[in-house]
Chains A and B, each alone.
Chain A
Amino acid sequence: MKETTGIILAQEKCDALRELTQPRTAGSVPFGGRYRLIDFTLSNMVNSGIRTVGVVTRNNYYSLMDHLGTGKEWDLNRKKGGLTILPPSLDVNMKRNTGDGKIEALYGVLDYIRHCGNKYILLADANVIAQVNYQELLEYHIEKNAYMTAVYQKDVFDSKRFANNTFIQVADDGRIIDVAVHQGIQLHSDMLLGVYIIERELLEFLICQCVAHDKLDFERDILQGMASDLDIYAYPISGYAQKIDSVDTFYQVHRDMLNPDVQEAMFGQGKVLTKVRDEVPTYYSESSCVKNSMIADGCTIEGTVENSVIFRSVHIGPGAVVRNSVIMQDCEIGANSVVEYCITDKLVTISEGRHMIGAETYPIVVAKGSKI
């Protein structure tokens, strides 16, 4: 895996994440009590033995840069390779903003790709929650003698996801034979996860060829347009996997996480690495009552918490009730308030006695820094 460079596209826009991506890229959306979405992809790369990673950003990338720093939490502060953050470059030939932006983004970092010195490139979106061994993906790619290999999730029947995702049809030998971008009805049930492996020189060629022909949509112009000519293979992901592409999935994954088996599958053996904050352990007072919840460090819990995920340094006041909710870092839940089916972004204050109640099918998202 040492001869592979990982490229994470943290820029993927995601309107369906509503307020959560207003102040940040999808990759830096806080997740799972103490992580950000990108931690999973980045940790998977590091745990698979990749030592060179470039993170491509587009806008609002301050929180991402702050989070990644020099890459030392992932052991990526290396002399050779290591982590490189690739901010957007304004190229005069390329300001169209059409398609999914992937080709534009890759064209913008073509120099990095050219000079990274590795034989393979692993492209990945930053919004997949899973434990993936990319070493096995590379072995599969080599064994199939594939032009490119794409990672997919089998049997996705959630009709809400048809519109925002790309589905494929896979032949018995693993080749992709049809690609449906943003299907309106169910054509196929195998969903792409935005993870591809390809030889560096082939990727360079593809990108330059696409740009030369003004074809700027990775999925339509490369996958769909070339699937019949090129040997593009598909690799099914096994175990727990979720693509966070909407508030619904974001909320659902947090609920899944309260299942100890899913916890083990996601975080097993402390494999997911993230930036640390020097917090004290969490304090539970006499008046606290916590049931079936995941709680990060630095919190003070004086009220009731049920079926919820609480991020770092949250204060839950006496008499407050937090149920079926996701409360992000540095939130203040006032005494005797009630919060149900809510996702509160960082630094939200719910004042004393307030009631915020959403629904399972439509959790309320409270934007970063709001005071209620």
Chain B
Amino acid sequence: MLRKKECIAMLLAGGQGSRLSVLTKYVAKPAVPFGGKYRIIDFPLSNCINSGIDTVGVLTQYQPLELNTYIGNGQPWDLDRNNGGVAILPPYMTSTRGDWYKGTANAVCQNINFIETYDPEYVLVLSGDHVYKMNYDWMLKEHKAAEADCTIAVINVPIEEASRFGIMNTHEDGTIYEFEEKPKNPKSTKASMGVYIFNWKVLKKYLIEDDANPESKNDFGHNIIPKMLADGCKMLAYEYKGYWKDVGTIDSLWESNMDVLNPAQSGLVLTDPNWRIYAKNPSQPPQYVADTAVLNHSMVAEGCKVYGTVENSIIFYDVEIKKDAVVRNSIIMPGAVIESGAVIEHTIIAEGVHVKCGAHVGAEPGPDGRKITVLGSGVTVSEGATVEAGSIVDAEL
């Protein structure tokens, strides 16, 4: 029998993230590299351990290999525990049934047994595709103080963007009276962050009911939350102030990486020693910056060899940028090689890409707005080739 835990986390990491296109062809969205050395899932995992939550179930389904290998026994996040720690929870067969995870609620529902082994009072439900630093313990304290059945973290968004989010309409005391998914005429600017704390006994009942309903989409946002509201459960909105970004699209992934470069303006500060974002550390020597290199407002990780020019960019570990190559306003993921004379502008380059001499990838955005170029994992751009701005490349050129 495992020792009782007050609160455990269930981290939804099974989504494909199809809007990230070629970047999620071989990996699940939470495993997409971010910010020079991280992956997106490092944020919720680090938040958990920094908030004192040491038991995390990671629900995986889509392309789980790389994600599973990455999480391993949870050691980089200090989640290798005898009692608790990280557990990877894929869908499984039983003697009577066996299903893929049909929706977010169904994924948690299929793991009721896992949750019950820890006999928790509260369950924290997280998604693996947001970049933010949040103390879940503060949220749990409010949840307990208000004696709520469910607390939903919300963030204030500009009113003109509110119709892209799930919006919580609340009373003065923070209790939610209405939930609207992507409303045309939003009444409030409190957008759900996809972070929920439930009283486990209450959630368990709703999960079982929801599972028995063949009409349901088995989704927290679509089914569980509206049903609980309708039944008069006490639902609290917890207002989070700080940096939060859904990095579900190419544009937002690029913007969020640029926010890492400008912590003072964006508020995304990764250097805080009291709230470290942990990641698996590659075994790489320090970076080498040659005589010919020019580095300007950029972040460069270990093991890189820089001989060319890098401006306003994020370079992940083990990248080689040869002489006379220019990288501008771009994100270059691990293991890529940029040969001499190549020019990379406004581009996201995935792992292991090889850009040969003199190739030209992407361009600065024209008056028609932002057009980010993306080279998928393992792509080779041949010598002197041009990759048009805005193209998304998956096969050999």
List chain A positions with a Cβ less than 8 A from chain B.
32-34, 72, 258, 260, 263, 266-267, 270, 272-274, 276-278, 280-286, 288, 290-298, 301, 305, 309-311
Instruction: Give bound CA distance, A296 to B285, whole Å.
Output: 8
Contact yes or no, A263 B36, CB < 8 A: no
Contact yes or no, A292 B285, CB < 8 A: no
Is B286 part of the binding interface, using a Cβ–Cβ cutoff of 8 Å? Answer: yes
Partner of A291, one of B76, B283, B289: B289
List chain B positions with a Cβ less than 8 A from chain A.
35-37, 75-76, 261, 270-271, 276-279, 281-291, 293, 295-303, 305, 310, 314-317
List A contacts of B291 (CB < 8 A): 291-292
List B contacts of A290 (CB < 8 A): 289, 293, 295
Closest Cβ of chain B to A306, distance in Å, is: 9
Partner of A309, one of B261, B284, B286: B286
Contact yes or no, B283 A270, CB < 8 A: yes
Instruction: Give bound CA distance, A72 to B280, whole Å.
Output: 13
- Which residue of B277, B279, B288, B298 has the most chain A CB atoms within 10 A of its CB atom? B288
Instruction: Give bound CA distance, A285 to B295, whole Å.
Output: 8
Contact yes or no, B75 A72, CB < 8 A: yes
- Starting from the known contacts A282-B300, A286-B297, A295-B300, 10 additional A-B residue pairs (CB-CB under 8 Å) come to A32-B286, A33-B286, A34-B285, A278-B276, A280-B271, A283-B261, A284-B298, A293-B289, A294-B286, A294-B289
Given A260-B305, A276-B281, residue A34 in contact with residue B286 (CB < 8 A):
yes
Partner of A294, one of B36, B270, B287: B287
Contact yes or no, A294 B278, CB < 8 A: no
Instruction: Name which residue of chain A comes closest to B80, CB basis.
Output: A72
Instruction: Give bound CA distance, A291 to B289, whole Å.
Output: 6
Given A284-B295, A290-B295, A296-B302, residue A270 in contact with residue B281 (CB < 8 A):
no
Closest Cβ of chain A to B359, distance in Å, is: 23
Instruction: Give bound CA distance, A282 to B288, whole Å.
Output: 12
List B contacts of A34 (CB < 8 A): 285-286, 302
Given A281-B314, A282-B300, residue A263 in contact with residue B283 (CB < 8 A):
no
Instruction: Give bound CA distance, A91 to B265, whole Å.
Output: 62
Instruction: Give bound CA distance, A267 to B287, whole Å.
Output: 11
Given A280-B36, A291-B293, residue A270 in contact with residue B284 (CB < 8 A):
yes
Instruction: Give bound CA distance, A286 to B297, whole Å.
Output: 5
List A contacts of B281 (CB < 8 A): 276-278
Given A270-B282, A276-B281, residue A281 in contact with residue B289 (CB < 8 A):
no
List B contacts of A286 (CB < 8 A): 296-297
List B contacts of A288 (CB < 8 A): 295-296
Instruction: Name which residue of chain B comes closest to A311, CB basis.
Output: B286
List A contacts of B287 (CB < 8 A): 282, 294-297
Given A267-B285, A278-B276, residue A284 in contact with residue B290 (CB < 8 A):
no
Instruction: Give bound CA distance, A271 to B183, whole Å.
Output: 55
Partner of A295, one of B261, B271, B289: B289
Closest Cβ of chain B to A37, distance in Å, is: 15
Contact yes or no, A292 B303, CB < 8 A: no
Closest Cβ of chain B to A294, distance in Å, is: 5
Instruction: Give bound CA distance, A32 to B285, whole Å.
Output: 8
Contact yes or no, B296 A284, CB < 8 A: yes
Given A284-B297, A297-B301, residue A263 in contact with residue B278 (CB < 8 A):
no
List A contacts of B316 (CB < 8 A): 281
List B contacts of A297 (CB < 8 A): 37, 286-287, 301-302
Closest Cβ of chain A to B340, distance in Å, is: 15
Closest Cβ of chain B to A262, distance in Å, is: 11
Instruction: Give bound CA distance, A270 to B297, whole Å.
Output: 27
Cross-chain pairs A/B with CB under 8 angstroms, 13 sampled: A34-B302, A72-B75, A270-B283, A273-B283, A278-B278, A284-B299, A294-B287, A294-B288, A295-B288, A297-B37, A301-B295, A309-B286, A311-B286
Contact yes or no, B286 A295, CB < 8 A: yes
Contact yes or no, A296 B286, CB < 8 A: yes
Contact yes or no, B285 A285, CB < 8 A: no
